Amino acid sequence: MHLSPSPSIQMTDYHSRRLGLSFASVGAHLGWVYLGKELVYEFGRTNEEESIRKLVTASLSHWIRTMPYLTPAVIHSFQENGRELELSVVRLPEGEVPVFVLVLLEKGLNLVPRNWEDLSNQVLTFCATGISLREKNLLDFETITEPIRKRMGKAFMGETKSGVIAFFHLQDLSPFFKPMGVIKSQEILREVTATLHKETKVNEFNFQLNPRSYFLFCPGETLDGANHRFGSLYFPSKHLILDYKLKIFPIDAEILADDAKFSSIFLENF
């Protein structure tokens, strides 16, 4: 069974194999996962891989603009080894970054909604726990940060002209993922997010960049105010108190409009 996570995805063997088994369980000859415009996971083999890559490259921008969630569509069909095969794509419900799954099946072997739901849960788990801290792929970076920058820009269109970004860089959680399994691992991440949600005011928003890096954007907040709010914050999770590093940066419309200044803040903490 061929499994190939992207170099920009750091996964435990458990999560990688688990996703591969999910593709195998539905009879897939091929299973690909796209996070934004990057192919981050490959399962299986076919002689048509190059033509499929070209098809996806030509179609991704259109899919991002128009494709509804959880509505599979057949996009390619061909014969291989005496079998009629059909390639389907489905868009998964995501946060700021589009997620697409490609599945190659024998013609007539359509996945029922429950299969798509189970597969999507495994894919989203993979993506949520797998964005690497070691690779700062520019395409991934822009795909993730551009929607964030636009949302921040809206906050500075009224009377508020400045604020802060608080970055929370947690301890490495990957050692817990394999022994605890998918469900328990996801619970840890959800509890971290829940803690940040409690600290997020109505005009603020938080976002998870990867399993270890989270940020909270606070328009109208000052550096002193943010240090007072977050200096003693802690992240309880099960029987653990997660360790983390806190960095707080001032931001205003001028910094937001300057590609170099804005990028330097996020690249350092991506």
**pLDDT tens-digit readout, 73-106:** 999 999 999 999 999 999 987 655 788 999 999 9
Whether 59 has a pLDDT exceeding 70, the answer reads yes
102 forms bridges with which residues in the sheet? 32, 89
DSSP states of 126-187 as a string?
A: HHHHHB-SS---HHHHHHHHHHHHHHHHHHTSSS--EEEEEEEEEPP-HHHHHHHHHHHHHH
Domain termination site, one of 83, 110, 130: 130
Number of folded domains that form the chain? 2
236 forms bridges with which residues in the sheet? 241
Enclosing domain of residue 60:
3-130
- Size of the chain in residues: 270
Other Cβ atoms less than 10 A from the Cβ of 9: the count is 22
Helices then strands, each counted (H, E), the chain? 8, 12
Residues 214 and 156 in one domain: yes
Domain termination site, one of 80, 102, 130: 130
The CATH number that applies at residue 29 is: 3.30.450.30
**pLDDT tens-digit readout, 151-187:** 899 899 989 999 999 999 888 766 666 566 656 666 7
User: Residue 44 belongs to what H/E stretch?
Assistant: strand 38-44
